[in-house]
Every structure is written in structure tokens, then in C-alpha cells.
């Protein structure tokens, strides 16, 4: 399985999220090389600088994108996939040598429209809105579940 990159705006501050993220990173690491890059989030001043926050965070995201990346933005308005369909997607792209999967989790305000248009795909974990740190944990769990589906391991039931 090819290397996969995950870019996240903001750091984990909650011990629960840190523990679960580390747990799934370890599980994933025995099957796949996953690089997680945490980028600085911008300070939000309610209603005053939201467009500027999205622009600056978007610039940081773009700086992380390489020419052969297949860029997938996690966005609740994106394409919802079942766990099995997500596994098929992961399997299809991780077997290709011409692209690298690159997932992005935006900051508290989401992702700028410019980045959404730049992306190759938008993926929805749910139509619900999750706390930022919970989104990371849910994504890592689903990514690990996809690996176990691909490899026929008993985790996915």
C-alpha cells in the first residue's frame, strides 16, 4: 500500500482525542505508511476575520500538496461512502503508482471555497457536524477499518 498523507488544521488538545488518534495511528502503521501533518490554525475573531482565516489556512494546505497528490477534502457536503465503498476507494488509489492519496481536515471554520474547488474529491464522514478533534478520530478509525476490509481481517463486522 502506498504512502498516504493526512493534513489537519489545528492540533489535538483533548486527551481523549490524542489517545484514540494514537491508537489508530499505531494500528494503521502496521499496514500502511501514514504521514499526519498538523498545521497551525488561525485565531478566529467572531464575524470579523473569517474569510482571512480560511484564506491563510488554505495557503498552508496548498503548501502541503504535491503534484501527484489525489486531494480529498473531508467536508460534510462531500460524497458519502459506506465503509466498504471507502475501502474500495482506498484500495484502488493505494495500488496506483502515479498518485498519492492526500486527505485534508480543515479548521474550525471548515475549508475555503478555493481549496474545495482545487480538490480532486470531497468526502463526507456524515451530514452531521463533528467537533474538529472527533473528526480526526472518526477518520482514522474508518481508514483503519478500510485497511482491514481490503486485507480481509476480522476487525470489520
| Residue 47 located in a structural domain | yes
- pLDDT number for residue 98: 85
Q: Where are the alpha helices (DSSP H) in 4-156?
A: 15-29, 50-64, 83-94, 113-118, 132-151
Grid coordinates belonging to 156: 470489520
Tens of pLDDT, residues 6-34: 999 998 888 999 999 999 999 999 999 99
- What is the residue whose three cell numbers read 484564506? 55
- pLDDT for the residue numbered 4: 95
How many structural domains comprise the chain?
A: 1
Identify whether 110 is part of a domain: yes
Residue 157 lies in a domain: no
pLDDT of residue 63: 95
Residue 138 has pLDDT above 90, yes or no: yes
Could you tell me if residue 156 is inside a domain?
A: no
Spatial distance between the Cα atoms of 7 and 60, rounded to a whole number of angstroms: 10
Task: Give residue-wise pLDDT tens across range 77-115.
Answer: 899 999 999 999 999 988 888 889 999 999 988 999 999
- Residue 145: inside a domain: yes
Sheet holding 121-124, edge to edge: 34-39, 4-9, 100-105, 69-80, 121-124
CA distance 86 to 80: 9
Rounded distance between C-alpha atoms, residue 75 and residue 108, angstroms = 12
Q: Which domain holds residue 116?
A: 4-151
Residue with the bigger pLDDT between 45 and 123: it is: 123
- What are the distances in angstroms from CA 35 to CA 26, 50, 107, 141? 12, 28, 18, 15
Is 15 a domain residue?
yes
Whether residue 48 has pLDDT greater than 80 = no
CATH number of the domain residue 33 falls in: 3.40.1280.10
Amino acid at each position: 500500500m502506498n504512502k498516504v498523507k493526512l493534513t489537519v488544521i489545528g492540533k489535538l488538545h483533548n486527551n481523549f482525542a490524542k489517545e484514540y488518534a494514537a491508537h489508530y495511528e499505531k494500528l494503521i502503521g502496521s499496514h500502511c505508511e501514514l504521514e499526519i501533518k498538523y498545521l497551525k490554525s488561525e485565531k478566529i475573531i467572531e464575524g470579523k476575520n473569517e474569510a482571512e482565516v480560511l484564506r491563510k489556512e488554505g495557503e498552508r494546505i496548498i503548501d502541503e500538496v504535491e503534484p501527484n497528490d489525489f486531494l480529498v477534502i473531508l467536508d460534510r457536503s462531500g460524497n458519502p461512502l459506506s465503509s466498504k465503498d471507502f475501502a474500495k476507494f482506498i484500495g484502488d488509489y493505494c495500488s496506483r503508482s502515479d498518485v498519492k492519496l492526500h486527505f485534508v481536515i480543515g479548521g474550525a471554520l471548515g475549508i475555503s471555497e478555493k481549496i474545495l474547488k482545487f480538490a480532486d474529491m470531497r468526502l463526507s464522514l456524515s451530514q452531521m457536524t463533528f467537533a474538529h478533534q472527533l473528526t480526526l478520530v472518526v477518520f482514522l478509525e474508518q481508514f483503519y477499518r478500510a485497511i482491514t476490509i481490503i486485507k480481509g481481517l476480522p476487525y470489520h463486522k
